[in-house]
Structure 1
Amino acid sequence: MIGTIVNTLTILIGSIIGGSIKKGIGEKYQSALYNAMGLVACGLGINAIVQNMSKSTFPVLFIISLAIGSLVGSVLDLNGRFERFIKRFSTGTLSQGLSTAILLFCIGTLSILGPMESALHGNQTYLYTNATLDFVTSLVLASTYGIGIAFAAAVLFLWQGSIYLFAGYLSPFLTADLLVEISLIGGFLILSSGLSILKIKDFNALNMVPALFVPIVWFIIKAIL
């Protein structure tokens, strides 16, 4: 599990460095960083969509998934619950930054396949690569939203740790087709988060997270039938 530990530590270190930098940045420059992070999130989301949409074997599945997932998330008020929880510890826009960080850190091929490769083959390459990317991302996010971005490290540890522990059971199930669908929907979630940061449209991205589980249910039903 060394790869996951390293990945978690890089986010913590990046958040601490970024949080320290934020203290010396004026409001004008913080606004510039908000815009930069919004554009980055949009770019990463669009890239994930373009890369995976052409590979999808079920072209309408992502539409159905986003529709059902958004309805379920809205009924459960996931975004509202998350914001209220974060406001117990911090004020401002930390909840928006954290939701973006969690999506960027956890929803991606490297963060899903990495723990499996580590558990099944002792290969840490995916996780070390992911750690490098997450270090830079956490540093920039923390310089924008504050050291509270470090909370995302705990979420990543639980996420990757769970995949690591259940890798033997998950490996036959996490097919290339399913990963494509999850990555495609993840791209839309990251894009929506970027648009929210840029204040173009507030999508309440966390309310859309249940959409990630719809393809899993679909593939289970398909396997049974």
Structure 2
Amino acid sequence: MILLGALVNGIGVSVGTLLGSLLRRIPDSMKDTVMNIMGLAIIVLGIQMGLKTENFLIVILSLAIGAIIGELFALEDKINRLGGWLEKKVGSSKQGSISQGFITGTLIFVVGAMGIIGALDSGMRGNHDVLYTKAIIDAVLAAILTTTLGIGVLFSAIPVILYEGSIAIFATQIDSFIPQALMNHFIGEITATGGIMIIAIGSNLIGITKIKVANLLPALVVTALLVSIVHSFNLHF
């Protein structure tokens, strides 16, 4: 089953969120400490991802162009409105908890090399081991995030399944029209671009910045386009 890995990953996020909701009665000081440590760990993860690039100019251009597109379409505001609608539906008492948890959880669980590589492996070889491993990691992250950001993290399971499932389905035909060299370049640059976004998430969590990270999401599409152009015309810069 091509979508098995994506489904398991989504279930992992859901289970982690439910476990985290049971631990929400811990003291506020402990929650603050957990959030700060989580933020620092996410920043380190982002740095590791950011160093995967072979052409940092692509990363910079992608983020700049993506930010412009995201601001023009006000993506973060739209996601916040969606979060507000979900918040009313579930009757959350903490203002903004649904939207913040949904946005942060989605970006952390969706952006990264494991999701891309795992979904490609599911589609191309029917091997779900990478996504199974990611499901375990995401379950732990979801539990910790839920103790600080609320039940909104649960809704991030939906884009995780859709994102990884779409890549897996696409990957069933990918090797017939995309060269391996281009795929390797794409994975490296999109991981680095995503890494910068992950750093921004961690920085927001510990209160250093207030970056509208959702507005940077178009950068992932821009990265794919720039990598394709560079590969097609054999450009070096």
TM-score by length of 1: 0.91
Instruction: Name the counterpart of 2:34.
Output: 33
- Whether the aligned pair in 2 keeps the contact of 1:70 and 1:207 (CA below 8 Å) is yes
Query: What is the Cα deviation at residue 70 of structure 1?
Result: 0.7
- Whether the aligned pair in 1 keeps the contact of 2:86 and 2:98 (CA below 8 Å) is no
> What SS class does the counterpart of residue 87 from structure 1 fall into?
helix
Distance 1:44 1:224 in 2: 31
Instruction: Name the counterpart of 1:137.
Output: 141
Query: What is the Cα deviation at residue 224 of structure 1?
Result: 4.9
From 65, 71, 76, give the equivalent of 2:73. Answer: 76
From 4, 7, 14, give the equivalent of 1:2. Answer: 4
Return 5+ residue gaps in structure 2 as ranges.
Answer: 88-94
From 67, 70, 78, give the equivalent of 2:64. Answer: 67
Q: Are 1:18 and 2:26 counterparts?
A: no
Distance 1:33 1:207 in 2: 26
- Whether the aligned pair in 2 keeps the contact of 1:109 and 1:183 (CA below 8 Å) is yes
Return 5+ residue gaps in structure 1 as ranges.
Answer: none
> What SS class does the counterpart of residue 99 from structure 1 fall into?
helix
Return closer, same or farther for 1:223/1:181 CA change in 2, 3 Å cut-off. closer
What are the within-5 Å matches in structure 2 for residues 87-166 of structure 1?
A: 87-90=84-87, 91-166=95-170
Distance 2:143 2:69 in 1: 33
- Whether the aligned pair in 1 keeps the contact of 2:98 and 2:153 (CA below 8 Å) is yes
- Whether the aligned pair in 2 keeps the contact of 1:69 and 1:214 (CA below 8 Å) is yes
- Whether the aligned pair in 1 keeps the contact of 2:98 and 2:151 (CA below 8 Å) is no
Distance 2:85 2:27 in 1: 25
User: How much identity, in percent, do the aligned residues show?
Assistant: 31
TM-score by length of 2: 0.86
